[in-house]
A and B are shown apart, each in its own frame.
Chain A
Amino acid sequence: MDLPFSGDLIAALVFPGVLGIFGFLVVAIWLERKLVARVQWRYGPLYVSKPLGGLLQPVADLLKLVFSELVLPRHTNRLFFAAAPILLFFAEGLPVVFIAAAPGVVMAPHPYGLAIAVVLVLLVAVLVVAMAWTEADKFTYVGAVREILLTAAYEVPLLLAALAMFILYGTADPYGVVEAQSNLWGAVLNPLAFVAYLVALLMATTRFPFEIPEAEPEVVLGPYTEYGSTLFIYAFGANYVKLYVLALLGSVLFLGGWLPAGGLAGVFITLVKMLVFVLPAMLVRAIYPRYRIDQALRIGWGKLLALSVAAVALSLVWRLLR
Chain B
Amino acid sequence: MIIHLKLFATAVKQLLQQPLTVRWPEERRDYGDRVRGFIVNDRSKCISCQLCEAVCPAKAIKFHLEADGRRYPGIDWGRCILCGYCVDACPTGSLQHVNNTEIVWTDLDVYKKPSEMDPDDAAPLPGTKSLI
Are A and B in direct contact (Cβ within 8 Å)? yes
Q: Which residues of A contact B (CB under 8 A)?
A: 35, 37-43, 46, 280, 283, 286-288
- Tell me whether A43 and B23 are in contact (CB under 8 A): yes
Query: Which residue on chain B has the smallest CB distance to residue A40?
Result: B14
- Tell me whether A43 and B19 are in contact (CB under 8 A): yes
Choose from B7, B10, B12, B20 the contact partner of A42 (Cβ within 8 Å): B20
- Tell me whether A35 and B15 are in contact (CB under 8 A): yes
Query: Which residue on chain B has the smallest CB distance to residue A307?
Result: B1
User: Chain B contacts of A43 at CB under 8 A?
Assistant: 19, 21, 23
User: Chain A contacts of B8 at CB under 8 A?
Assistant: 280, 283, 287
User: Chain B contacts of A37 at CB under 8 A?
Assistant: 19
Measured CB to CB, the closest approach of chain A to B132, in angstroms, equals 14
- Tell me whether A39 and B11 are in contact (CB under 8 A): yes
Q: Which residues of B contact A (CB under 8 A)?
A: 7-8, 10-12, 14-15, 17-21, 23
When A and B form their complex, which 3 residue pairs have the shortest distance between CB atoms, in order from nearest?
Answer: A41-B20, A39-B14, A43-B19
In the bound complex, CA of A38 to CA of B19 (Å): 7
In the bound complex, CA of A41 to CA of B21 (Å): 7
User: Chain B contacts of A287 at CB under 8 A?
Assistant: 7-8, 10-11
User: Chain B contacts of A41 at CB under 8 A?
Assistant: 14, 17-21
Query: Which residue on chain B has the smallest CB distance to residue A46?
Result: B23
User: Chain B contacts of A38 at CB under 8 A?
Assistant: 14-15, 17, 19
Known: A35-B15, A41-B14, A41-B19. 10 other contacts (CB 8 A): A38-B19, A41-B17, A41-B18, A43-B19, A283-B8, A283-B12, A286-B14, A287-B8, A287-B10, A287-B11
Given A283-B8, A287-B7, A287-B8, check contact A42 B21 (CB 8 Å): yes
